[in-house]
A and B are shown apart, each in its own frame.
Chain A
Amino acid sequence: METEKKRSLTGNKAMSEAIRSEMERDENVFVLGEDIGEYGGIFGSTEGLIKQFGPERIMDTPISETGFIGAAIGAASEGMRPIAELMFVDFFGVTMDQIYNHMAKIPYMSGGNVKLPMVLMTAVGGGYNDAAQHSQTLYATFAHLPGMKVVAPTTPYDLKGMMISAIRDDNPVVFMFHKTLQGLGWMDQLDTSIGQVPEETYSVPLGKAKVIKEGTDVTIVGLQMTTHFGMHAVKELEENGINAELIDLRSIVPLDKETILRSVKKTGRLLIVDEDYKSFGISAEIAAIVAEEGLYDLEAPIKRLAIPDVPIPYSRPLEQYILPNAEKIVQAATELANE
């Protein structure tokens, strides 16, 4: 019993387990995408599912993103609950019309009369030298456009629980998973990419951030890899006598601004860390919300760490230079705490 509770899974296995349990529960759920069958998804999100459900429900597609994402929309409008995988978020360009002009707008344009209960799952993130066309997070690109829920869980526990919520949601949900947090054998092995996941079905609500560590001196907001780096940074900050609070965003749309504002009220200092481009992004949005609704709680100007508005360079030192990491968080948070 005890061992069962303590069962650990990698991020990718937590995701595939969530899909499996929903497919067992609801025959309308099916998955389509490139290399999701025999291969199990390039980042393992559908590992093992083809064996159980066969190619009728785990459908490998041609490299035709407009075709199969459009098809997912059509199937959803007729009462199915498709999960379409866009292999890398960077490939959104070839199919953005289906995603944005249709998936995101049809429920609204139909006056709420057409439901699109579908999940668009997609891999995000860099740090492993996959260069400009395969390393973006693009959190804000999707979040900017109304009509899609956009979530980005960090831990295996949340990957499972939020995937289950996403599948059950009657709205289109863009489910972004971070490649490096999938716990794959051919990537860096991170402590955050493996974690306790209950075997039973459970859900984690969309739209709720999570306070990973409580603190009083400075609020650090991250998501996915920047939460991971944040977890390491807060330990080091603690050793240096700075008691930081770390918030894992988990959802971008809807954004849990209450949790952020509550924390800022307590600490008076805010550092937002984002693996997306700096300008017009999550860090700007959160800073704006805090300026609008929590300005008088601030004791120092807000700080942001994000990609300095350049495409992701290939060369390892260059990529490391532009990406946030624990050390940069420690430095920025220390400056902020001393301001």
Chain B
Amino acid sequence: MTISRKELSWMYETMYKSRYYEDEMEKTYTEGKTPVFNIGSGTVPGEMHLSTGQEPAAIGISVHLRKDDIVASPHRPHHHAIAKGVDLKRMTAEIFGKKTGLSKGKGGHMHLFDPAVHFSCSGIVGAGLPQAAGAALAAKKKNKDSVAVAYIGEGAANTGSFHESLNLASLWNLPYIVVVENNSYGISVPKSASTSVASNDLRASAYGDNVKGYYVKDNDPIAMYHASKEAVERARKGEGPSIIEIETYRFLGHFQGDAEGYRPEGEVEELREKDPIPLFRDLLMKDHSFKEDELVSLEEKAKGEVDEAYAFARESDYPDLEEALDNVFI
């Protein structure tokens, strides 16, 4: 099973875009804050969970997704949103709290909604799981072959929602895929202290013969591509739900400002050495005959789009105050 050149170049460009986006956000987040991480101030206030290092999880599956496929994302949503094609300008404006944002500034970074590409997220751990299963049910009822993907962290696999949604999805044979991003931590709690099994794909067998588990190690975008391809095809054909666990890396704190006292010394440096983006870049050149200038031009394109989105967000106005009172009901 080979990956087309077009797919590879989309994957690289999108991973790069996502990373550049998060790097910009990391800088922007400390702007105008005293003390440096004062959460309720600055250009971008509030909590900020960045996905730096976790790009392969989103890119490896999104390459198989269509606009009408559904994505439910958790509190760390930027890479998923970017890979799903959420309007980058309006997403950034939302994170800046501006009137041009996806939700006119009322949602914020953990509550991005772009119905045009069937994207939603929630700051409540595990909440997206049954909703994605329900969206998959809607697709099935409407005789569409779209699929629903719920991304969660490994910590979220220990919620009741995980169990309930997978049992439902198996019973109803839904086109439902759970992507578990195992970044080893739920805030400060290591996976070994939160999870009774070695990896969550093993839990698939508990839900029935139609549920399949996949494990992707080493934060590998190509392996993620292959596992996801099979899971998405199975879902589209009505063969049942899947759980894909990917071993991924959280380069930064749980949120910006996290002192990370719980992390062993040197861990991040070690992970950074296995940064999936330069590794993927090398692979493209070595095994897939990509040329340096080709990659540079993908990078420039990605940066341009991100820069434009940030500029748009900065230039936009804050919403009118009365906006706060609108949309409680439609």
B158 and A64 contacting across the interface, CB-CB below 8 Å: yes
Does A188 sit at the interface, judged by CB under 8 A? yes
Given contacts A64-B160, A314-B107, A315-B106, are A186 and B35 in contact (CB under 8 A)?
Answer: yes
- Cβ contacts under 8 Å, A34 to chain B: 186-187, 189
Does B328 sit at the interface, judged by CB under 8 A? yes
Q: Which one of A124-132, A220-228, A295-303 is at the interface?
A: A124-132
A243-279: which residues lie under 8 A (CB-CB) from chain B? none
Does A317 sit at the interface, judged by CB under 8 A? yes
Q: 1/0 per position for B286-330, CB-CB distance to A under 8 A?
A: 000000000000000000000000000000001101011100100
Given contacts A127-B40, A322-B324, are A313 and B106 in contact (CB under 8 A)?
Answer: yes
Q: 1/0 per position for B88-105, CB-CB distance to A under 8 A?
A: 000000100110010011
B189 and A94 contacting across the interface, CB-CB below 8 Å: no
Does A238 sit at the interface, judged by CB under 8 A? no
B181-207: which residues lie under 8 A (CB-CB) from chain A? 186-189, 193-195
B111 and A314 contacting across the interface, CB-CB below 8 Å: yes
Given contacts A313-B324, A318-B323, are A131 and B39 in contact (CB under 8 A)?
Answer: no
CA distance A235 to B41 in the complex (A): 26
- Cβ contacts under 8 Å, A308 to chain B: 324-325
A310 and B328 contacting across the interface, CB-CB below 8 Å: yes
Tell me which of B35, B39, B186 contacts A62 (CB under 8 A): B186
Tell me which of A62, A187, A318 contacts B105 (CB under 8 A): A318
- Cβ contacts under 8 Å, B187 to chain A: 34-35, 39, 42
Given contacts A187-B38, A315-B97, A318-B324, are A129 and B108 in contact (CB under 8 A)?
Answer: yes
B122 and A128 contacting across the interface, CB-CB below 8 Å: no
Nearest CB of B to A71, in Å = 13
A32-66: which residues lie under 8 A (CB-CB) from chain B? 34-35, 37-39, 42, 60-64, 66
Does B47 sit at the interface, judged by CB under 8 A? yes
B108 and A94 contacting across the interface, CB-CB below 8 Å: no
A63 and B159 contacting across the interface, CB-CB below 8 Å: yes
CA distance A40 to B27 in the complex (A): 27
Given contacts A314-B97, A318-B324, are A128 and B45 in contact (CB under 8 A)?
Answer: yes
- Cβ contacts under 8 Å, A133 to chain B: 110-111, 122-124
Tell me which of B40, B122, B319, B328 contacts A129 (CB under 8 A): B40
Tell me which of A64, A93, A130 contacts B124 (CB under 8 A): A93
Does B221 sit at the interface, judged by CB under 8 A? no
Nearest CB of A to B223, in Å = 26
Nearest CB of A to B158, in Å = 4
A131 and B123 contacting across the interface, CB-CB below 8 Å: yes
Q: 1/0 per position for A156-194, CB-CB distance to B under 8 A?
A: 000000000000000000000000000001111000000
Interface size for B (C-beta < 8 A) is 50
Tell me which of A38, A94, A322 contacts B188 (CB under 8 A): A38
A128 and B39 contacting across the interface, CB-CB below 8 Å: yes
Nearest CB of B to A275, in Å = 14
B319 and A185 contacting across the interface, CB-CB below 8 Å: no
A129 and B46 contacting across the interface, CB-CB below 8 Å: yes
CA distance A128 to B33 in the complex (A): 12
Of B97, B104, B107, B324, most buried by chain A (CB within 10 Å of CB) is B324
Does A91 sit at the interface, judged by CB under 8 A? yes
Does B155 sit at the interface, judged by CB under 8 A? yes
A39 and B262 contacting across the interface, CB-CB below 8 Å: yes
CA distance A188 to B41 in the complex (A): 9
Does A213 sit at the interface, judged by CB under 8 A? no
CA distance A310 to B329 in the complex (A): 10
A94 and B124 contacting across the interface, CB-CB below 8 Å: yes
A141-159: which residues lie under 8 A (CB-CB) from chain B? none
Chain B's closest residue to A66 (CB) is B160
B324 and A132 contacting across the interface, CB-CB below 8 Å: no
- Cβ contacts under 8 Å, B158 to chain A: 62-64, 67
- Cβ contacts under 8 Å, B215 to chain A: none
CA distance A185 to B36 in the complex (A): 10
Does A199 sit at the interface, judged by CB under 8 A? no
B328 and A38 contacting across the interface, CB-CB below 8 Å: no
Chain B's closest residue to A318 (CB) is B324
Does A134 sit at the interface, judged by CB under 8 A? yes
CA distance A62 to B153 in the complex (A): 12
- Cβ contacts under 8 Å, A317 to chain B: 97, 318-319, 321
Query: Can you spell out 23 A-B residue pairs with CB atoms less than 8 angstroms apart?
Result: A35-B189, A39-B261, A39-B262, A61-B194, A62-B186, A63-B125, A63-B155, A63-B156, A64-B158, A64-B159, A64-B160, A94-B161, A129-B108, A131-B107, A131-B109, A131-B111, A134-B123, A186-B35, A314-B94, A314-B106, A314-B107, A315-B319, A316-B40
List the 9 closest A-B pairs by CB distance, nearest first: A314-B108, A128-B40, A315-B105, A315-B97, A129-B45, A129-B46, A62-B158, A62-B194, A39-B188
Binding site for B on A (CB under 8 A): 34-35, 37-39, 42, 60-64, 66-67, 90-91, 93-94, 127-134, 185-188, 308-311, 313-319, 321-322
Given A67-B160, A313-B105, A314-B107, 7 new contacts (CB under 8 A) = A34-B189, A62-B155, A62-B189, A128-B40, A313-B323, A315-B105, A318-B319
